[in-house]
């Protein structure tokens, strides 16, 4: 019932109808059963899709490179400098002059210095936004920031939107299109890539343009940039759902088999991968005589009971033929 589950499911639904290709799969095969290795979505583990063996974990330490001995000390430490951000047209690397008429100590400036500072500000502004391209980016990024915070999209997502927009500009996709629509479309795509999509009408409410231009801009963007919105696979959900449902490994393994079987019969085409994963788990539990109700699965996976029912019936049908 978490937001992440819900949104991930939505993103699946959106991408599944169009894209049935394989997801990114690790080159190596599983040492135990020579199955396929697939990166888990929310941990950094790589797991075998057949036997569930955890093959590798991301062993990079992404924590700070210093250490501290107390909480206060830890709080005082910080990485040096502001992070580089894609959300500013100059990546946040240029100097900024404060808007306050005060010096470093917080004292008011003398009239003479004030004049100089104001003059500097003017030139700084001219320097930072010297071309129409940069004004364009400033405008667009401002919009992305505004809409992103209005929709509660996290920082990394907004940055992705900004990167996408910059790509669009670099590829000359902008001429003839509105900055607003493109910026909105970029953010829309970014949200989907981050697995936290908002629907188009939702975007239309915070954007200054209507739903249709956004839709058109997004399609254009997606086609021209080849955005490759994460093509999803039911197996990407299986382990997470299995953990959330606290089923034993036997059930999970069975669910994998069922999914494999269904995939060979092209049952996954056009269907929500999340729904398939949930249904496979339910089916697996049934076959193992595990007590697991449709309602429970539906609640934990945020897939409707109806969908689970329809999918699991189909899955069992082909699975029964396969095994009999």
Is 306 a residue that touches DNA (CB under 7 A)?
Answer: yes
| Residue ranges in 213-252 that form contacts with DNA under rule CB under 7 A | 213, 219
| Size of the residue set binding DNA (CB under 7 A) | 29
> Tokens in use for 84?
């580089």
Q: Which helix (H) or strand (E) holds 38?
A: strand 36-39
In sequence order, which residues have a C-beta less than 8 Å from that of residue 221 and are 6 or more positions away? 164, 168, 173, 182, 185, 186, 189, 227
| Residue 32: how many other CB atoms lie within 10 Å | 12
Considering only 174, 220, 310, 318, the residue that binds DNA (CB under 7 A) is 310
Stretch that binds DNA, among 34-42, 122-130, 193-201, 254-262 (CB under 7 A): 193-201
Give the C-alpha separation, 181 to 167, whole Å.
15
Considering only 2, 42, 295, 320, the residue that binds DNA (CB under 7 A) is 295
Considering only 15, 136, 186, 300, the residue that binds DNA (CB under 7 A) is 15
Is 13 a residue that touches DNA (CB under 7 A)?
Answer: yes
Helices (H), 63-210: 71-76, 111-128, 132-150, 155-170, 179-193, 200-206
Distance of closest approach, residue 291 Cβ to DNA, in angstroms: 8
Is 36 a residue that touches DNA (CB under 7 A)?
Answer: no
Give the C-alpha separation, 315 to 239, whole Å.
18
Distance of closest approach, residue 108 Cβ to DNA, in angstroms: 53
How many Cα atoms sit within 13 Å of 11 on the Cβ side? 25
Considering only 266, 313, 321, 323, the residue that binds DNA (CB under 7 A) is 313
Give the C-alpha separation, 64 to 4, whole Å.
27
Considering only 92, 305, 318, 322, the residue that binds DNA (CB under 7 A) is 305
Is 195 a residue that touches DNA (CB under 7 A)?
Answer: no
Contact 233, 262 (CB under 8 A): no
Considering only 4, 110, 122, 199, the residue that binds DNA (CB under 7 A) is 199
Identify which of residues 141 and 203 has a Cβ nearer to DNA in the complex. 203
Identify which of residues 37 and 183 has a Cβ nearer to DNA in the complex. 183
Polymer length in residues for the chain: 324
Considering only 17, 100, 110, 323, the residue that binds DNA (CB under 7 A) is 17
Is 304 a residue that touches DNA (CB under 7 A)?
Answer: yes
In sequence order, which residues have a C-beta less than 8 Å from that of residue 54 and are 6 or more positions away? 45, 46, 47
How many Cα atoms sit within 13 Å of 227 on the Cβ side? 28
Is 200 a residue that touches DNA (CB under 7 A)?
Answer: yes
Identify which of residues 213 and 284 has a Cβ nearer to DNA in the complex. 213
| Residue ranges in 259-278 that form contacts with DNA under rule CB under 7 A | 270-272, 275
CA distances 81 to 78, 93, 96, Å, are: 9, 10, 13
Is 205 a residue that touches DNA (CB under 7 A)?
Answer: no
State the residues that interact with DNA by CB under 7 A: 9, 13-15, 17-18, 199-201, 212-213, 219, 270-272, 275, 293-295, 302-307, 309-311, 313
């Amino acid at each position: 019932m978490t937001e992440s589950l819900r949104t991930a499911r939505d993103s699946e639904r959106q991408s599944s109808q169009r894209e049935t290709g394989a997801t990114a799969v690790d080159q190596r095969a599983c040492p135990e059963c020579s199955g396929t290795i697939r990166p888990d979505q929310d941990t950094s583990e790589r797991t075998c899709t057949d036997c569930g063996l955890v093959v590798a974990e991301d062993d990079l330490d992404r924590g700070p490179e210093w250490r501290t001995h107390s909480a206060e000390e830890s709080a005082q430490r910080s990485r040096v400098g502001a992070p580089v951000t894609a959300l500013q047209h100059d990546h946040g690397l240029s100097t900024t002059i404060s808007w306050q008429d005060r010096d470093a100590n917080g004292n008011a400036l003398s009239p003479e210095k004030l004049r100089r500072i104001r003059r500097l500000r003017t030139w700084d502004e001219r320097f930072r936004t010297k071309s129409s391209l940069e004004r364009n980016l400033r405008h667009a990024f401002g919009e992305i920031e505004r809409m992103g915070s209005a929709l509660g999209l996290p920082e990394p997502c907004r940055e992705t939107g900004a990167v996408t927009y910059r790509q669009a500009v670099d590829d000359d996709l902008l001429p003839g299109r509105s900055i607003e629509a493109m910026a909105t479309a970029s953010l829309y795509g970014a949200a989907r890539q981050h697995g936290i999509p908002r629907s188009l009408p939702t975007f239309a409410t915070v954007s200054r343009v209507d739903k249709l231009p956004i839709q058109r801009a997004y399609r254009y963007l997606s086609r021209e940039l080849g955005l490759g919105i994460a093509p999803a696979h039911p197996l990407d959900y299986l382990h997470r759902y299995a953990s959330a449902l606290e089923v034993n490994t036997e059930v999970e393994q069975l669910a994998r088999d069922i999914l494999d079987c269904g995939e060979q019969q092209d049952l996954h085409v056009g269907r929500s991968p999340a729904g398939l994963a949930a249904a496979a788990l339910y089916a697996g539990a049934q076959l193992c005589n595990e007590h697991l109700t449709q309602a429970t699965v539906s609640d934990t996976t945020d897939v409707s009971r109806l969908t689970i029912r329809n999918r699991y019936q189909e899955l069992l049908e082909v699975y029964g033929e396969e095994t009999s």
